[in-house]
Amino acid sequence: MNLESIVAECREWFADPDFSRLRGHLAATGEHAVGLFPVYTPEEIVLAAGFLPVHTYGGGNLVEIDHADSRIQSFVCSICRSTLELGLTARLDWAEGFVFPSICDVARNLSGVWTRNFPDRFAAYIHFPEKDSIPAARQYLRTEFARLEHILERRSGRSIRREDYHRAFAVLNEQRKLLRQLYTLRSEQPWKLTTLELYTLTRAGGMMPREQHIEMLRLALAEAGARVGKPQDRIRVVVEGSFCEQPPLDLLMAIEDAGCYIVDDDFLLGQRYLEQDVPLAGDPLDALAETFLEAGVPTATYRSRRPRGPALVEKARAARADGVIFCIAKFCEPALYDYVLLNRELEKAGIPALYFEFEEKANVFDNMRMQVESFVESRLLFS
């Protein structure tokens, strides 16, 4: 398979609100699946329990909201409304249940709405520690993971063994390692791998069997690395603020077409949240909790041990970025509150930034593209 065919197959897995490829896989194998809401849900526990973890990012611009607004506020973020719409229209009936992380009040409310509307399927809400630097944080988080473990064991009818965890850790460690290598390739030689290709390769990996995805990533790395080409006259940017709701793919293409190389981003964090491998030795839930606390990506929702502002400055400098583009979903309170603090840190560091908002249903980006083009011209003028 060449890179184009790999990307095309990956896109079939997620560019379909009816989840046809996923349904076909589950019917053929007899496997059961559990849905995961962003930003981070412990898919390691889901995989160890014998379920296929399926990262779900709403319906994007592929579904109309006809039912969800009668059960959740119409002014909340699109990803929560469209995820509920998928459930109410039976598009998520493949899921044994859903795991919701403590992103924000809207995600918390969605977990309750899910419980009320789908009583035959479980809804597990994971409370992550707010103060992760205190000694009690690890034990608290381990207790939360153990609670999810118990829910999954009851659903599957079997206990999760230590070897199940080690097998799941090894598979997901390998998948994240390959994704990091792809991100490194895109950062160092962005003309070899477009953001659309990288995004597609990453997102499909949250839906298909992980071993299958690992083989595709290995092929993609080899294919992309072998591409020839030369740098174009573009600026290098980091895109930040889309850690939960995902921007339309046409928007990402518009940013690049306006003269940018996107050299780092915070898309699809749930599939690459842990920046280090989970150890295979010791108590599995202890190891998972410690890795989350020590090696989790700083976001607007999880206050990691690294301050968020300096971490973004470090990220931009490591990527040799000419600037940062804040691409934030409408009504996303964590990202909107975070923007003020992050922009202040960028200003102190002398890193220019551009800000705009998006929504899932948007399909015209002319105004945004003009803003990006002006930003590119200003950076080229002063470079």
Name the token pair of 269.
């964090």
The pLDDT, as a whole number, for residue 382 is 66
Name the token pair of 233.
């006259």
Element (H, E) at 264: strand 260-265
108 contacts 37 by C-beta, under 8 angstroms: no
**Backbone phi, psi, residue 157, to 5°:** 80, 15
The pLDDT, as a whole number, for residue 130 is 82
Q: 262 by DSSP, 3-state: which? A: strand
Could you tell me the CA-to-CA distances from 41 to 35, 244, 357 in Å, in that order?
Answer: 10, 12, 25
**Short-list 249, 160, 140, CA closest to 198:** 249
Tell me how far apart the alpha carbons of residues 140 and 286 are, in angstroms, rounded to a whole number. Answer: 10
Tens-binned pLDDT, residue by residue, of the chain (383 aa): 899 999 999 999 999 999 999 999 999 999 999 999 999 999 999 999 999 999 999 998 888 899 998 998 888 889 999 999 999 999 999 999 999 999 999 998 999 999 999 999 999 999 999 887 788 999 999 999 999 999 999 999 999 999 999 999 999 999 999 999 999 999 999 999 999 999 999 999 999 999 999 999 999 999 999 999 888 999 999 999 999 999 999 999 999 999 999 999 999 999 999 999 999 999 999 999 999 999 999 888 876 677 889 999 999 999 999 999 999 999 999 999 999 999 999 999 999 999 999 987 777 788 899 999 999 998 876 66
End-to-end C-alpha distance for the chain, whole angstroms: 40
Strands (E), 13-90: 33-36, 52-55
Name the token pair of 285.
């839930």
The pLDDT, as a whole number, for residue 60 is 85
**Short-list 263, 262, 266, 264, CA closest to 243:** 266
**Backbone phi, psi, residue 89, to 5°:** -100, 20
Tell me how far apart the alpha carbons of residues 264 and 24 are, in angstroms, rounded to a whole number. Answer: 34
Residues 6 or more apart whose CB falls under 8 angstroms from that of 330 comprise 77, 78, 357, 358, 359
DSSP codes, 89-119: TTTTTTEEEEEEE-S-HHHHHHHHHHHHH-T
The pLDDT, as a whole number, for residue 360 is 74
